[in-house]
Amino acid sequence: MLFLPCAGGVEALLADEATRITGGRCEAARGGVWVDAQEGDEAAAMRLNLESRLATRVLVPLIDGPYRDEHDLYALARRVDWDRWLTPAHTLRVDVQAQRSPLKSLNFAALRIKDAICDALRERHGERPSVDTHRPDLPVALFVGPDHAMLYADTSGEPLFKRGWREATGEAPLKETLAAAMLAAIGWQGRAEDGPLLDPCCGAGTIAIEAAQLACGIAPGGQRRFAFERQRPFQAPALRAAWAQMQQQARARVHAPAVPVFAGDVSFRMTDFATRNAERAGVAKAIEFKTADAQQRTPPAATGVILMNPPYGERIAPKGTGNVVSREGFEGGGSSAEFFGGLASHWKRHYAGWTAWLLSPDPKLPGLMRMKESRRVPLYNGAIECRLFRFDITAGAGPGARERANPPA
């Protein structure tokens, strides 16, 4: 059994993806997906790390049980066979997440789990492993609720949204896993029938790059390393051979895209960032970048799909905090109403027949655009609750007019 954590709102999409990747039984839960793989946990963990676009990590459950304090957590961790996972020559790190936990210090909880692991190996081998907070061989994840705790071995290491190609980012970069979730939510898979895709406010290019890699059949984990490559359960010759074969098969299936991907930004600097990111991601030839104002850009094709994470003028803080954090503004210093109103008017004049999807934390976005959405999909950008709004663009609606929505898809 494996657990794949993911962003809020992505659970059902991830369950479908994990089923396709593993062929096993996958069950969506709050905050992630449980995977009962047909090929065995080790092989499935390797395959999911390589192929999943939506999971943030691939975790192997070790033990769970009730607790009241840090002493109970220590006792729980001592029941794990740590020799199966590491030796004194390996390094480790303990990460803790809590939800309504009575613990006063999560750092102390992490320390007690670390002590349990080190004590177990010292008693058996006379030596203990070291702690490495940056690149540990075995990252251990502890989840504590009000009265129940779970320990996992993290096979990913760095979170899976780190694909291995990003260096240059914008002021508010979109995580690759969220861009992939947006593509999955709208059903765009890079097939000929999906049509061209355009991101006219591309920033660092995350949406366009994810789309192009999907269209080219490029595995999301093909350019990075994983913690499992240094972990004991994965060192058997048969598993090492299986991992090499998975990588080779992923490289062999890369192909030319069936549909074009277009992107650009009003900023020359951001378009240059995005272009360089696309080069590192291996999809520079699959994306046509153009520096242009989204309110003036002409359609690159007769019909297609617009998918964008537009600037909002301000970044909304997580729900309930009451804070507003400064974010990139609009070119020329205009307001959000001016930007979105102008964008909608431009689309109505020039993009009839296109479908537009916009990610926003602002439920009033359709009003700002004077367009009626035909669908809204809840997604979380970190802790920020957002909606992915769909607009079916028709011609002839002037500024200030409301569009009549097509039936929800």
What mean pLDDT comes out for the span 389-407? 62
Residue 303 near residue 354 (C-beta atoms within 8 A): yes
More confident residue, 18 or 324: 18
- Whether residues 75 and 195 share a domain: the answer is no
Residues 302 and 187 both lie in one domain: yes
* This prediction's pTM: 0.91
Q: What is the DSSP string of 82-142?
A: GGGT--TTSEEEEEEEESS---S-HHHHHHHHHHHHHHHHHHHHS--PEE-SSS-SEEEEE
Residues 275 and 139 placed together within one structural domain of the fold? no
Separation between Cα atoms, residue 183 and residue 307, nearest integer Å:
8
Cβ–Cβ < 8 Å for 96, 76: no
Q: Which residues pair with 387 in a beta bridge?
A: 360, 378
My answer on whether 84 and 191 are in the same domain is no
Is 230 contained in some domain?
Answer: no
In terms of domains, do 100 and 206 share one?
Answer: no
- Looking at the structure, do residues 101 and 180 belong to the same domain, yes or no? no
pLDDT in tens, 60-85: 999 999 999 999 999 999 999 999 99
Q: Is residue 329 part of a domain?
A: yes
Specify the CATH number for the domain of residue 110. Answer: 3.30.2130.30
Residue where one domain finishes, among candidates 154, 186, 205: 154
Spatial CA neighbour of 12 closest among 26, 1, 25: 26
Q: Which domain holds residue 99?
A: 2-154
Looking at the structure, tell me whether residues 38 and 123 fall in a common domain.
Answer: yes
Contact 309, 359 (CB under 8 A): yes
β-strands 375-381, 384-392 pairing? antiparallel
Q: Tens of pLDDT along 82-135? A: 999 999 999 999 999 999 999 999 999 999 999 999 999 999 999 999 999 999
Mean pLDDT of the chain: 91
pLDDT at 38: 78
Question: Looking at the structure, do residues 102 and 208 belong to the same domain, yes or no?
Answer: no
